[in-house]
Structure formats: structure tokens, C-alpha cells
Amino acid sequence: MEYKQIINMSDELMARINELLSHYPADKKKSAMLPVLHAVQDAHDNWLSLELMDKVAEILEVKPIEVYEVVTFYSMFNQKPVAKYMFEFCRTACCAIRKGEDLMDYTCQKLGVKQGEITPDGMFSVVGVECLGACGFGPMLQLGDNYHENLTKEKIDTLIEDCKQGKVNLY
């Protein structure tokens, strides 16, 4: 399924991209791909359509496939619309040993969604991702730019409630 996205390469976004590009040699624009993709995604409701990835390729003067390769490799880039609050549960070994998958199932049940689905109000989704580098603090999840560690059902309940009340900063 192809999702439609309104593309807005605003002056503000282009200024941010140009600032990022200024850190790299003019003939090595590709080196700025990760920060540029983050900036573009942040300005487009946290996801990147094919059309938007093509735009990034044009700016970086690379082939579109080189952008697709990066976007499809990293879980921090989204290729379809996402919920406002996307609970990204680590499902790798250390978190799994400490029942991370059970907590992910608990969260899905509580929100009435399956993994990868978005609640009808567009507020929540639950996804499993690979190790997020906080292995000593599992089970854990990422929400926006922030980590929530040593999770319990009670912590999940509080986090969901705080999101509903707009008390959670994502960035």
C-alpha cells in the first residue's frame, strides 16, 4: 500500500539541511545522509514517503536506492505514517530474558492493537525493534528520543496515562 504525504521543504528545513551539509566537503554530500534524513523526517510527521526519499536523494546528489538502503536498514526511520506515541520495545536478548516481549504484549492488549497497528485515534502504536543499546536496563522501550527503562506493567500504565494527558515530551 502506498501512503500519500504532503511534502513541505520549507525555507526553515532547507536552512537546516544546508547547515548540516556545511559540515561536509561539497563533493561528499552523501556523508550527511543520516542527519539530513532525521531533519526531513522530523519536519514530516515522523515518516518518509518514497517521494520524500527521492527528494533527499536529489539534495544529496545520490541515487534514490542509496537513500532507500539507509531508510530500510534503520528502525528510527519510518516508511509509513506512524502514531504520535510510538512505543518501540527492544526485543533483543537481554530485554527478552527480562520479559520484554510479555510487556510488549501487555501494552498491545491495553491499547487494543497488534504490533505495528495504530490506535484509531492515531495516538499510539507498538512496535518491536532490535537492541537499543540499553541492555543493562531492560526491559526497555524508546518513545520519541527518550528511553524508558526497567519497565514494569505499572510503569507502562503510567506512561500511557501521561501520554494521554500530554505530559510526555517526545523530543
DSSP for residue 79? S
Interface with ligand FES (CB under 6 A), residue from 113, 138, 159, 160: 138
CB-hemisphere CA count at 13 Å for 99?
Answer: 8
Q: Which is nearer to ligand FES, 79 or 92 (CB)?
A: 92
What is the distance between the alpha carbons of residues 119 and 85, in angstroms, rounded to a whole number? 10
Binding mask 75-114 for ligand FES (x = CB under 6 A): ---------------x-xxxx-------------------
**Residues 147/120, Cβ–Cβ less than 8 Å:** no
Is 94 annotated as belonging to a binding site? Answer: no
Residue 151 as a binder of ligand FES (CB under 6 A): the answer is no
Q: Which is nearer to ligand FES, 60 or 139 (CB)?
A: 139
Q: Where are the alpha helices (DSSP H) in the chain?
A: 11-21, 33-42, 50-60, 64-73, 93-97, 100-111, 153-164
Query: Residues annotated as binding site?
Result: 90, 95, 131, 135
* Binding residues for ligand FES (CB under 6 A): 90, 92-95, 131-135, 138, 140
